[in-house]
Chain A
Amino acid sequence: MTRRLFPVLAGLSLLFFVGAPVLIVRAPYESTMGLVQKIFYFHFAGWMAMFLAIFVLGIASIIFLFRRIRSADQLAVAAAEQAVIFGLIGLITGPLWGVKAWGVWWQWDARLTMAVILELILVAYLLLRQYGGPGSDRLAAGLGIFAMANVPFLYISTEIWRTVHPRTSVVPTLPVDFGLPLWWSVAGFVVICLAMLSARRRLEEQRATLDELYLALEDEA
């Protein structure tokens, strides 16, 4: 299934990434921020892909925990890695924009703090996977669920506190000139996230198969 899915997703993401620069260059300059505003097309898209990866991680963790389906666990590992990568994109592009908008690279406001915390949880997840040894898979699944529980807080944090971060509500009100490149980028990031997810999950699956073969070989010897 994933073997046939991957070329399609890879082809689609290529299409999106060839088209994205054209659309972003053609998008008009925003009146106050000028060129720097265009970072937004990466920033927002990166976070959207991260949210997708975290929801995959959380739901796969729940399925693994309650149903003990091995492939769900493999999907969770893949999703956690994607979430870390796309979260990093968000955390790098954010300060690049912030230094122009706020005059400083970083502010400890609610949204930014929650974003860093979420990234930390995901890195902790990967550390656990790396160093936990046998038996850590269920613990990792528990951590994955906790990571997913943070996402709603992160999303509404700009509404609860008066943060310096722009509110989430600006996105639906964007005019088409800005909206088209934005949603094109989001689609591109989401598709590439899915493509890497399917490739990474397959790698994990094959690694598990290889381990089983090694064990079987040892049993015979």
Chain B
Amino acid sequence: MTRFLQVVWLVVRKDLRVESRNKEMLVTTLFFAVSCVMVFAFAFVRGGRAVDGAAAGVLWIAVAFAGTLALGRAFERERYQDALRGLLLAPVDRPAIYLGKLSGLLLLLAVVELVVVLMVALMFQAPLFEHPFRMLALLALGTLGFASVGTLFSAMLVRTRSRAVLLPVLLYPVTIPVLIMGVSGTNVLWQPEPDLAMVQLWTSLLLFFDAVFLTLALWTFEPVMTE
């Protein structure tokens, strides 16, 4: 088990080191997410007042779009000089590699979300700090559900043609339930008087979906990536 975690950590560290040297993914993803929120702010904020319920949707759309961008890059990078083959040839558990890539992406998305959430709160006047822990739980679980499927799909797409087009085409239908739950939960939470039981329901549903997605991804990663 410790060896498994060691491998996960090694893959995360590798990704972090590559990222810290050129900061390509972080900067591009962040910039994209910010411009996404800006476009929505122009569309949905009129005369200083945001359209009702728009904030939650904007937040999750920005996360999903920026996440797709990051997912595509995360494995595109492994194509150079057959880095992916090297990773897969290493005598370690494949699921550990998957978890390593997933953790790296989650770290990246956490930074992006930090900025996006603050921006949305500012531009759409969302009551962000009323229930910080519930908000954090929704964000973490929603991102995990989205990224767990995304990491698997983008790893699988590395070897296929037209992967840039196919990633969103495959990813969105499968992850729509997670995004719907995230949006609905956030929407309830940002009401003037939130119905906390509903927030609880959406959060536990997210947890349930995450468990299913992670299990399926860990189970299928090995056979899918075997040549």
Contact = CB atoms under 8 A, between A and B. Distances in A.
B159 interface: yes
A66 interface: yes
B220 to A, nearest CB: 5
A117 B177 CA distance: 8
B22 interface: no
B224 A142 contact: yes
B161 A133 contact: yes
Interface in B135-173: 149, 152-153, 156-157, 159-162, 165-166, 169-170, 172-173
B174 interface: yes
Contacts of A142: 152-153, 156, 220, 224
Nearest to B161: A133
A65 B166 contact: no
Nearest to B205: A160
Contact of A127 (B166, B174, B180, B220): B166
Interface stretch (A80-88, A98-106, A145-153, A183-191): A145-153
B162 A138 contact: no
B87 interface: no
B216 interface: yes
A172 B180 CA distance: 32
A117 B176 contact: yes
A113 B180 contact: yes
A143 B172 CA distance: 12
Interface string A123-145: 11001100111111011011101
B223 interface: yes
From DSSP, what is the main secondary structure of chain A's interface residues? Answer: helix
A120 interface: yes
Contacts of A133: 160-162
Contacts of B162: 131-133
B212 interface: yes
B170 A124 contact: yes
B176 A120 contact: yes
Given A121-B174, A143-B174, A128 B166 contact: yes
From DSSP, what is the main secondary structure of chain B's interface residues? Answer: helix
Given A142-B152, A142-B220, A128 B180 contact: no
A146 B172 CA distance: 12
A114 interface: yes
A134 B163 CA distance: 12
Given A117-B177, A120-B173, A124-B170, A136 B160 contact: yes
Interface in B103-159: 149, 152-153, 156-157, 159
Contacts of A121: 173-174
A149 B216 contact: yes
Given A66-B223, A132-B166, A138 B174 contact: no
B161 to A, nearest CB: 4
B212 A149 contact: yes
Interface of A: 65-66, 113-114, 117, 120-121, 123-124, 127-128, 131-136, 138-139, 141-143, 145-146, 149-150, 153
Q: Which 7 A-B pairs have the closest CB atoms?
A: A133-B161, A120-B173, A139-B156, A135-B159, A121-B173, A65-B223, A132-B160
Interface of B: 149, 152-153, 156-157, 159-162, 165-166, 169-170, 172-174, 176-177, 180, 212, 216, 220, 223-224
8 contacts: A113-B180, A121-B174, A124-B169, A132-B160, A133-B160, A134-B160, A139-B160, A143-B170
